[in-house]
Amino acid sequence: MEVVDRNTEEFLINHYSRLLETDPLNGLRSAARESFLKLGFPAKKQEAYKYTPIKRVIEKNFDFAELSVPVTSWTKEACQQKFYANSEANHLVFINGLYNQEFSVIKSPSSDLVIETIDNRSYENVADLKKYLGALTKDKQDAFALLNLATFSQGLFLHSLKNKDNLPTYIYHFNDAASSAISTPRVLTLVETGSRLRVYEKTFRNGEANHLTNSIVEADVKSNGELRWTKLQNQTMADYAIEGFYGIQERDSRIYTNTFSFKTALTRNNLYLSLDGENCETHMHGLYHLNQTSHVDNYTSVDHTEPNSFSNELYKGIVDEKAHAVFNGKIYVRPQAQKTNAFQSNNNIILSDDAKVNTKPQLEIWADDVKCSHGCTTGQLDEEAIFYLRSRGISKTNTKALMLNAFAAETVQEVQDDLIREEVENLILNKLGV
């Protein structure tokens, strides 16, 4: 039984018909399309979307049957002016969800990092694409991952070769919204044995119409590999985003994720990590600093399947005005995953009577020799601490900024890139009026 509304189905059919019939990706796309049409957008009654009525929001703000592929207003020069000032790095560009090699600047030699466009040609000729593309999302029954796989047409493949310490890689998403639009960027990342890769994502946009981003990152990290992935989300009140990150780890590997959310109409971050080898290590840090009517929902799932692994998850939120923050974190420890250490924490500060926070940390443990904990706090600024600082001549504005900056610092310090860390720190201070 199909549960997707007619407009969405028409959009999918129209988009699908634009793809070449000879495209070898069509097999993947067709299967994903049919699965999505049967599954449909998640409704509010589904527990994972209880506090984020994503189906209602999307159907209210987007008419899929009327969407068209936007004509880009971004030039090569305009894009490259937005690049971070790091000449010893890769700067990779997506235009309206399509990877654009011409606008990108690549500094890594192909003997260290292979950077490929995912399209019909590369899918036919690059063996790793057939093996890994869609492999991490296919069993998750995630409607948005299926929609992305059904409709993306030009993705990005990052392949870090064995025992390479790669240059930083910045991924920029440049979107146009002269009229309502949707973009579906997709990135597949393969980190081979002993390799290290650092990736930083940021989005820009032109136009004032509503824009929906449905992005997917798949990351496969082999033994003793390391991947650090940072997302900076600071857009407009006409931007809607569902961003999925799916990671899997082999033994002795490490994944670090950082997610910073500042301004959006609605953002849902889906983070799925599977620790499928012994001695894996995972660190997840997030900060959301929201005001106006921004809505950010962080959903995380960490699955420990083998012994002696470690995961540490810390998300912090500052929520003001009429903003709404949601955190739903799950940790699974399977029966064979003895000697697991897993920690999860979500802390929030509410700055107005109209702000709202819903938080639900969860543990499901089937092993008996583990150290696991989870917890959450939601409250206001400490009045005694405010009085103490004010009594020493610090203004009310600076007192508030000092306390909130200290509260957020633990998440920001995890970012290794100085340019990104300074930008996040400045965004925090700007929001505090300093």
What pLDDT was estimated at residue 400? 84
pLDDT category at 26 given cuts 50, 70, 90 is confident
Q: Considering the entire predicted model, what is its pTM?
A: 0.94
DSSP, residue by residue, 148-203:
HHHH--SEEEEEEPTT-BPPPEEEEEEEE-SS-EEE--EEEEEE-TT-EEEEEEEE
pLDDT tens per residue, range 357-397: 999 999 999 999 999 999 999 998 888 888 877 888 888 77
- Report CA 136 to chain centroid distance, whole Å: 15
The DSSP code for 5 is -
Rounded (10°) angle between helices 418-431 and 396-412: 150
Residue 1's pLDDT band (cuts 50, 70, 90) = very low
- CA pair distance 159, 333, nearest whole angstrom: 30
H/E run at residue 9: helix 6-17
* Rounded Cα distance, 180 and 79, in Å: 21
The answer to whether residue 20 scores a pLDDT higher than 60 is no
Give residues with Cβ within 8 angstroms of 205, minimum separation 6. Answer: 174, 175, 176, 177, 211, 235, 236, 239
Please give the pLDDT value at position 17: 59
414: closest CA among 272, 255, 302? 255
pLDDT tier, 224 (very low <50, low <70, confident <90, very high otherwise): very high
Q: Are 200 and 424 in contact (CB under 8 A)?
A: no
376, 344 Cβ separation under 8 angstroms: no
Q: Both tokens of residue 144?
A: 């948005």
Q: Which residues of 12-23 are buried (b: 16+ CB within 10 A; e: fewer)?
A: beebeeebeeeb
pLDDT given for residue 6 in this prediction: 63
H runs (alpha helix) in 62-142: 76-80, 120-125, 127-132
User: Residue 434, SS3?
Assistant: coil
- What pLDDT sits at residue 397? 79
The contacts of residue 53 (CB under 8 Å, 6+ apart) are 43, 44
The pLDDT tens digits for 261-271 are: 999 999 999 99
SS3 50: coil
pLDDT at 10 over 70: no
Mean pLDDT of 37-47: 86
Count Cα atoms within 13 angstroms, Cβ side, for 72.
Answer: 19
Residue 287 is predicted with a pLDDT of: 97
Edge to edge, the sheet with strand 90-95 lists 98-105, 90-95, 169-176, 196-206, 226-234, 254-263, 281-290, 310-319, 341-350, 371-379
∠ at Cα 272 (269, 276), nearest 5°? 165
DSSP string, 299-344: EEEEEE-SSS-EEEEEEEEEE-TT-EEEEEEEEEE-TT-TT-EEEE
Q: Which of 266, 276, 278, 275 is nearest to 239 (CA)?
A: 266
